[in-house]
Amino acid sequence: MSTTFKQRYRRSVGDPDLKPRLLTFQRSWRESRDAQVKRLEQRTERSFDDLRQEFAAVKDLTLEHWDDHIAQFRANAEAAGATVVELSTAEDAVNYISSVCKSRGIELIVKSKSMVSEEIELNHELEQRGIIAIETDLGEWLLQLAEERPSHLVMPAIHQKRQYVAEILGKELDREFDPDDIPAMVASARDGLRGHYLSAGAGLTGANALIAETGSIMVVTNEGNMRLATSLPDVHFVTAGIEKLIPSWADAERQLQLLPRSATAQTLSTYTTCITGAQPGKEMHIILLDNGRRQMRESDSIGDALRCIRCGACANVCPPYQVVGGHTFGHIYTGAVGLVNTTFHHGIEEAAGPQGLCVSCGACETVCPVAIPLPKQILDVRHRAHEAGHAPRWERAALRFWAKPSLFHHLMGLGALASGGARLFGLVRRDHLRLPLPRRLRWRSVPALPLRNGRTLVRSRKPQPPIAESPATGQAVDLFAQCLADRMLPTAVDAAARLIEAGGASVRIPQSQHCCGLPAFDAGDWESARTMARQTIEALEGGSNQIVTPAPSCVIAMQEHWPELFHDDPEMQQRASAVSRRVHDLAAWLDGPGRLPDGCLEEAENGSWTAHRFCQASNRGDPFARIDQLVERLTGESGLPLEEPEVCCGFGGLTSMAAPEVGQGILERKLACVAESGCDTLITNNPGCALHLRAGAVASGATHETMHYAEFLAERLPQNP
C-alpha cells in the first residue's frame, strides 16, 4: 500500500474514468449542499457564515483550554466506566491497543469510522502482531479487500467504479455480481461481514466529537454497522484526536447543524450515536491521540486547522482533487486540510509532493463549516517544504531568474525577436507558435511574444480623451502593468491605460516596475518573493495617490502577502503597507462613482460574450470580481450565462507547469462550460487566466476569442480623432 507521490500521481492521471466520476460527484454535491445550507439559513434566520463562525469560536475556546477540557472529559468518562488514555505518538496508540488485545486473547477487531486508525496505520501494524482488524464500513471494507487507502474523508471509495466493486466482491465472496445491481452487492457485503461481528473480541470506532461535560463520544454515520461493532464485542476501543473535544451537548448540536450538510449534503445523517461509558460487564478504552496536534496548536498560522470536523467539503469543491482524486491530493488525510495537517502527523517529506497540486483558488475556505483559512495555511506549508529543500530544481532556477528584472526582460526580448522570426516563416497561428510540444503539454499552445511590451504601447500613443467630466478629472494614476501582462499580453496593459484615461485620469507607468512577487510566494520561495516585492515597492514609492492594475492577483499579493513577507522587518513592512494601501484593481477603479457613466461605451461587432471570473478574487467575495456586471453596465450588452463561472481555469501559477495534467484537466472542465455557453468571446479579469484560457482554446481548436475584459471594453471606446 505504501507508494510515492509520483507513483500515485501517474496512476491517477492515467485513469480515464476518474475525472468524469469525480466531476459528476462534485457538481451533484455542490447543488445539494447549497440547497441544504439555504434551508438551514431560512430555518435559523442566520447566515452560514454566522453559524460556522460561532462553532469555530467554540472550537478555538476549547483549544485555548485544552488540558482543562481533557481533564473534565477524562473524569466524566472514567466515572461512567471507561478507561481514558492520552498518548503522544502513533506508535504509542498501536502499542496500547495491541497490549490490551494480547492480554485479553483478542485476535479479531471489527472497525468503523476511524480516520485516526488510518493515520496511525493501525491495520497494518496490528497484522504484524498477529491481530486482524476488519473494516465494516462498506467503502472501507472494499478498499481493505483491494489493499487501498481511503481517497476521501467521508466517502472513502468515491474513486472506484461499480464494475471494480463487483470484481472485488466477486473474488472475496466467490460469486459473480452484476455491476448494475447495487442493492445485491450491498446485501452480499452485509452477509459477508456478519460473521466477523459475532466472532470479534473487540470493536473499534472513532468519534466525531468528545463531549467534555459528560465524558461521552458522538459518532455520525449512514450505516448501522457501527452500532454492531460497539455493542457486540466485549471491548470497545475509541481512537480520536484530542482536537475532537467540545465542551457541551449544546456545542454538539451546533456541530450537527454543520457536519451532515457539509459532508454528505444531508439534513441529518442516518445515525447519530452517542455513548457514555462502558456497557455492564464490558470495557471501553478511549485513546486521545496527540501525534503532532499540540505542535500544530503552537503554530500561529496552522493552529486553526485543528477546528476540522472531517467533513471532506474542502475536497468536494477542489478543482485539482477532481482531476487526481484523494490518493494523490493528500497522504492519509485528503483534500485541502490534508495538505496542511500531513506535515505534523507524518512529516514534511510526505506533505511536500501534493503541495504543488494546489492552484490557490480558495474554494476550500468558502465551504469549510469551521472557517479554517486553508489557502493561507497551504501557502505556509508550501514555504516549509521549500525551505526543507523539496522544491524542484527547475522551479528554484525559474524563480531566481524571475527575481532579476534585467535578465527577465532581456530574455523576454529575445523571445519576442524569435517570435517575430516565427511569424515570417508562417509558424504562428492565432498569435500562438506552431511548435511540436511534448505529449504532456499538447493541450496548450505557446504564445508568440509581441515585439513591444505593454509599457511601450502606452508611451507610444496619444492619451485617450475622457468620456465625461468625472471625480477623477485632473488626477494622476500609476499603472502597475504586471509582469506577465506586460510581456505576454501588452494589449491588456494598453487597454487598461486607455480606460483609466477615459475615466478622466492621466496615466503614469513607472518604467522600473517588474513583479509583485506572487509567483515566488505561491511556490514557497519567500526569499525570491521578498526580492521582487522590495523592487516593486521601490518602483512605486513616491508616485501618485492611486496605483491601478489589471491583475487582481497582484492586488491580493500586495495587500495580503506583503505583510507576511516582511513581518520580521518593521521598516519594510511599513513601506509595503504604504504602497499597498494605494493599490486598486482596475475594475474597482472603473466602477468608482462617476468615472464611467452607464452605457457610455459604443457597440461592437464581435458577437456574444460570457465571463470567467478570477477564482481567487471571487472566492474571497471581492465585489470587483463580477466583471460581467461592470461590462453590462458600461456597454448595455448582456453576457451569456456560464456554468461554474467562478471555478478555477487551471492556471494556478506554476501548478500548470509542475503538474500539467492537473492544469489540463481543470482547463478542459472550464472550456467545456465555455463551449456550452455558445459565446463568441470569453472575457476574464486576470492576465494569467486570459493567457491560460487562450492557449488552451487555440490548442483545442475552439473558435471563440479569449480576451482580458480591459481589451474587450477598450475596443468600444470612442476612437481618437
Distance CA 671, CA 669 (A): 6
Q: What is the mean predicted confidence (pLDDT) over 380-403?
A: 93
Neighbours of 622 (CB within 10 A): 18
pLDDT at 606 over 90: no
Selection from 435, 430, 400, 396 nearest residue 415 by Cα:
435
| Residue-level pLDDT at 594 | 82
| Residue-level pLDDT at 486 | 96
DSSP of 28-72: HHHHHHHHHHHHHHHHHTS-HHHHHHHHHHHHHHHHHTHHHHHHH
| Residue-level pLDDT at 374 | 98
Distance CA 232, CA 508 (A): 77
Rg, C-alpha atoms of the chain: 28
Distance CA 269, CA 189 (A): 21
Question: What is the phi/psi pair of residue 182, to 5°?
Answer: -65, -40
| Residue-level pLDDT at 650 | 95
Tens of pLDDT along 127-185? 999 999 999 999 999 999 999 999 999 999 999 888 988 999 888 888 898 988 888 88
| Residue-level pLDDT at 603 | 80
pLDDT at 1 over 60: no
Task: Judge if pTM exceeds 0.75.
Answer: yes
β-pairing, 428-429 vs 583-585, is unpaired
CA 490 to chain centre: 30
pLDDT at 46 over 90: yes
Selection from 248, 229, 250 nearest residue 239 by Cα:
229
Tens of pLDDT along 6-16? 999 999 999 99
pLDDT at 658 over 90: no
Q: What angle do CA 141, 142, 145 make, to 5 degrees?
A: 85
Question: CA dist 295 to 334, 372, 381, Å?
Answer: 20, 17, 14
Tens of pLDDT along 55-85? 999 999 999 999 999 999 999 999 999 999 9
Cell numbers 467630466: residue: 469
Distance CA 214, CA 275 (A): 10
> Who has greater pLDDT, 26 or 468?
26
What's the grid cell of residue 373?
A: 483559512
Distance CA 560, CA 376 (A): 10
The helix/strand/coil state of 344 is helix
Distance CA 316, CA 153 (A): 10
| Residue-level pLDDT at 471 | 86
Tens of pLDDT along 312-351? 999 999 999 999 999 999 999 999 999 999 999 999 999 9
What's the grid cell of residue 632?
A: 453590462
DSSP of 633-645: HHH-PPPPP-SST
Write out the H or E segment, with its range, that includes residue 129.
Answer: none
Write out the H or E segment, with its range, that includes residue 706.
Answer: strand 705-708
Percent of the chain with pLDDT over 70: 99
The helix/strand/coil state of 159 is coil
- Catalogue the long-range contacts made by 693-698 (C-beta closer than 8 Å, 24 or more residues apart): 693/612, 693/649, 693/667, 694/432, 694/447, 695/432, 695/444, 695/445, 695/446, 695/447, 696/443, 696/444, 696/445, 696/650, 696/664, 696/667, 696/668, 696/671, 697/671, 698/429, 698/430, 698/432, 698/445
Provide CB contacts within 8 A for 186, sequence distance 6+: 138
Edge-to-edge order in the sheet of strand 83-87: 83-87, 283-289, 235-241, 202-205, 108-112, 132-135
Tens of pLDDT along 419-436? 999 999 999 999 999 999
The answer to whether the beta carbons of residues 495 and 464 sit under 8 Å apart is no
The answer to whether the beta carbons of residues 675 and 667 sit under 8 Å apart is no
Distance CA 462, CA 475 (A): 17
Percent of the chain with pLDDT over 90: 89
Tens of pLDDT along 681-719? 999 999 999 999 999 999 999 999 999 999 999 999 987
What's the grid cell of residue 440?
A: 504532456
Instruction: Give start and end residues of each alpha helix (H) in 460-517.
Output: 483-488, 490-502
pLDDT at 401 over 70: yes
Distance CA 134, CA 341 (A): 26
Tens of pLDDT along 494-541? 999 999 999 999 999 998 999 999 999 999 999 999 999 999 999 999
Selection from 157, 290, 274, 296 nearest residue 207 by Cα:
274
| Residue-level pLDDT at 720 | 61
145 by Cβ neighbours in 10 Å (0-12 / 13-18 / 19+) ranks as: middle
Q: Is the dihedral of CA 81, 84, 90, 94 positive or negative?
A: negative
What's the grid cell of residue 629?
A: 456586471
Selection from 430, 376, 712 nearest residue 550 by Cα:
712
| Residue-level pLDDT at 593 | 86
Averaged pLDDT score across all residues of the chain? 95
Tens of pLDDT along 659-682? 999 999 999 999 999 999 999 999
Q: What is the mean predicted confidence (pLDDT) over 223-249?
A: 96
Q: What angle do CA 633, 639, 643 make, to 5 degrees?
A: 130
DSSP structure class, residue 439: G
| Residue-level pLDDT at 469 | 85
Cell numbers 502499542: residue: 95
> For 330-334, 355-359, 472-476, 538-542, which range has the lowest pLDDT when averaged over its residues?
472-476
pLDDT at 110 over 70: yes
Q: What is the mean predicted confidence (pLDDT) over 368-386?
A: 97
What is the b/e burial string over 446-456, where b = at least 16 CB atoms within 10 angstroms of the residue's CB? Answer: bbbbbeebbbb
> Who has greater pLDDT, 307 or 189?
307
> Who has greater pLDDT, 604 or 652?
652
